Amino acid sequence: MTDLPESKPEGLHPEQIALVRQHLQDVLSSSAFAGSKRAQEFLHLVVEHTLADRTDALKERMIGAEMFGRPVDYDTANDAVVRVKATEVRRRLLQYYRDSAPESSVRIDLPVGSYMPKFVWQRDRTTAEIPVASVSAVAPKDLHGAPAGSPGDIAAALPTLPSKRIWWRRWSVVAPLIALLAVGGFLAIQGWLGISSASPIRSLAILPFVNLSGDPKQDYFADGMTEELIAELGQVSTLRVISRTSVMTYKGTQKTVPIIARELHVDGILEGSIEREGNKVRVIIQLIDSRTDEHIWAHTYERDMTSALELQGEVARAITEQIRIELTPQQQAHLQRTRRANPAALELHLQGMQQLNSGNPRGAIELFRQALEKDPDYAPAHAAMASAYGWLGESGRISYAEAFAQQKSAAQKAIDLDDSRPEPHLELGFAAMNQDWDWSMQNKEFRRALELNPNSAAVHWAYANYLNRVGLADDAVEEAKLALQLDPVSSRSYTNLSFIYYYARQYDEALAQIERAMALHPDPMEIAFPLSVIYVEKREYDKAIQEFQKMGDVAHGLGHMGNAYARRGLKAEARAVVPRLKQHVDKTGVGRYEIALIYAGLEENDKAFEWLESAYQVRDKGLTYLKVDPCLDPLRADSRFASLMQRVGIPTS
């Protein structure tokens, strides 16, 4: 750190400045500040700027630029890096003076709401006056409403009382002030402890943790730990917790906390930061009542990598205490369970989740494999592996048989190792449907996943899709609306809802959901397929074909495009798609169901049933849509269709 020209702060003489610097070194070398280089640097920075009278450098924006490399014009409202580090420094100072401070003529305080330290002088050790620039007559308030100065600081600032008569006159003036301070102090303590007269927080969004490592490549770790905390709190049934896909849209946002809260319809916002130093992890959490924009709680946690997952349960328990939510015995046991992790396996798992969430399941699988080589009993990696294989199968990138067999095996292994998480039950439910056509097992596993995490938007979407496929359209729409409440600003949510309305034959409403998704600027490929099939059922065939063509050589897109050509009357174009799909069948086994769709559109029913029978023999996942796919409507009156439905096992009611 470069030393700037120094000047004397008003009210401090050279001997006092030397004493402050000597005491600062004692503080920084103490056990209270051990292991936190950033906290040491922060306190050193603000003290030296104060001693040199560089008050302009003590603004939040300037500290962010100098210490954390932020641009000078960065958005301090949404980037809490300076605030969270200052909170940590205050707590370490409190620990130092409470537990290990030797006798000294000066004490360093950092009032909350300010980045200018104040130096409190012990009157029996120095005759110096408290510097006017360092201690204000009225202590500034912290983020929770409590006075920044301790009662000792306030007392130190009061004048010496010269005589009983003068004391009495002054007491008549001071007594009401002290009474007022006492009441204010009581209310401040209530705020500090999270006690509020306002209605309790019952909905919460956990914003992406700020990565304080200084290395953008470590974002995967901050994002992964954010996702873990969302999953932990999601298991508290009396609290609505916004899903990962929605909160991640606010990563790097310029929006303020109140605006975010209004968009997500939540009472509270949790923001925090994460920092790694070697094998140590430090997490700083701040809980904000978004209805008043008041900070109601903050805490710093430090753990080693092996207990990083247990940290999430500890944080979740603390939050439920702060917002006064009563946990069931099962929820308490879940949040208190032992969750040790091999640090290398945890790293690889979180890197894999970053790949999976960015749409690269193949890359994710390789990282999950490496994680399991480090720790074969690491349940989260098995569950994530199941999800990645399910993705590959659902999208037709590999054969259904391979994908869903791997999905089922990995999900079952994860459940055997840890039955407390919903993700493997969700994946086992998907495999039960796609590989085994076991509809009762699918229903059972999805319900179990919802019991474990009623806040999982992914599980609600899956269950809504199940309800749709068995013909319970109204129930599916209601379930989808629950999912949307948990994932309200994700384009994928509106895309999912469009499919629910599509299979419910409510095509105008389905199109309206796609338009809402488009307003959130999704990847164009995310909406191409649902938009295309909706256009087909609205008989806007040219628009549909144009959208299908954007998808390229994707099996399910080709099949529906061929169906659209046929229904448009372009029979030659429809038949020309069949050889392309046969190539997919030869390469991956995917495409039989899609060829049947083309022949259904051409009203060549015998050929359609021939390919449906072929799909049946290989358990093509497309057959799980038999009951609801509008492309198959020309076949429904045929007795062969009812027989096929019965063999696939789709419930009749």
Phi/psi at 398 (5° precision): -135, 175
Token code pair at residue 157? 């600032």
Verify that 428 and 491 share a domain, yes or no: no
Query: To 5 degrees, how large is the angle CA 430–CA 431–CA 435?
Result: 125
What is residue 134's predicted lDDT score, i.e. its pLDDT? 34
> Domain for residue 170, yes or no?
no
Verify that 439 and 558 share a domain, yes or no: no
Q: What would the pLDDT profile of 143-170 be if each residue is shown by its tens digit?
A: 333 333 333 332 233 233 333 333 333 4
What is residue 143's predicted lDDT score, i.e. its pLDDT? 32
Question: Would the pLDDT of 236 be above 60?
Answer: yes
> Domain for residue 245, yes or no?
yes
Most confident of 124-133, 167-176, 290-299, 435-444: 435-444
Q: What would the pLDDT profile of 439-455 be if each residue is shown by its tens digit?
A: 999 999 999 999 999 99
Verify that 537 and 471 share a domain, yes or no: yes
CATH classification at residue 336:
3.40.50.10610
The number of beta carbons lying within 10 Å of the beta carbon of residue 493 is: 25
Confidence of residue 217 (pLDDT cuts 50, 70, 90): confident
**CA dist list (Å): 72 to 45, 55, 212, 273, 274:** 17, 16, 17, 20, 22
Verify that 417 and 536 share a domain, yes or no: no
What is the rounded average pLDDT for all residues in the chain? Answer: 85
Verify that 308 and 286 share a domain, yes or no: yes
> Domain for residue 578, yes or no?
yes
Among the candidates 548, 571, 601, a domain finishes at 548
Verify that 239 and 333 share a domain, yes or no: yes
Verify that 219 and 330 share a domain, yes or no: yes
Question: Would the pLDDT of 218 be above 80?
Answer: yes
Q: What would the pLDDT profile of 312-369 be if each residue is shown by its tens digit?
A: 888 999 999 988 888 888 888 888 887 778 999 999 999 999 999 999 999 999 999 9
Number of domains in the chain: 5
Verify that 303 and 355 share a domain, yes or no: no
CATH classification at residue 383:
1.25.40.10
Range of the domain at 586: 553-653
**Cα-based torsion angle of the residue sequence 149, 152, 157, 161 in order, rounded to the nearest 10 degrees:** 150
State percent of the chain over pLDDT 90: 57
Confidence of residue 198 (pLDDT cuts 50, 70, 90): low
> Domain for residue 175, yes or no?
no
Phi/psi at 114 (5° precision): -145, 150
Confidence of residue 539 (pLDDT cuts 50, 70, 90): very high
> Domain for residue 247, yes or no?
yes
- Sign, Cα dihedral of 606, 609, 615, 618: negative
pTM, rounded to two decimals: 0.71
Verify that 18 and 123 share a domain, yes or no: yes
Confidence of residue 141 (pLDDT cuts 50, 70, 90): very low
Question: Does 16 or 511 have the greater pLDDT score?
Answer: 511
Q: Which of 115-119, 124-128, 493-497, 632-636 shows the lowest per-residue confidence on average (mean pLDDT)? A: 124-128
Per-residue pLDDT averaged across 267-291, rounded? Answer: 89
Per-residue pLDDT averaged across 627-651, rounded? Answer: 96
In whole angstroms, what is the distance from residue 566 CA to residue 544 CA?
A: 12
Among the candidates 294, 312, 340, a domain finishes at 340
Verify that 37 and 83 share a domain, yes or no: yes
Verify that 325 and 359 share a domain, yes or no: no
What is residue 428's predicted lDDT score, i.e. its pLDDT? 97
Q: What would the pLDDT profile of 562-580 be if each residue is shown by its tens digit?
A: 999 999 999 999 999 999 9
What is residue 197's predicted lDDT score, i.e. its pLDDT? 43
> Domain for residue 178, yes or no?
no
> Domain for residue 8, yes or no?
no
The closest of 35, 173, 60, 69 to 116, measured between CA atoms, is 60
Among the candidates 454, 484, 502, a domain finishes at 454
> Domain for residue 515, yes or no?
yes
Per-residue pLDDT averaged across 478-490, rounded? Answer: 96
Q: Give the DSSP H/E element, type plus range, for residue 295.
A: strand 294-304
Verify that 220 and 279 share a domain, yes or no: yes
The number of beta carbons lying within 10 Å of the beta carbon of residue 5 is: 6
The closest of 28, 21, 23 to 6, measured between CA atoms, is 21
Question: Would the pLDDT of 86 be above 90?
Answer: no
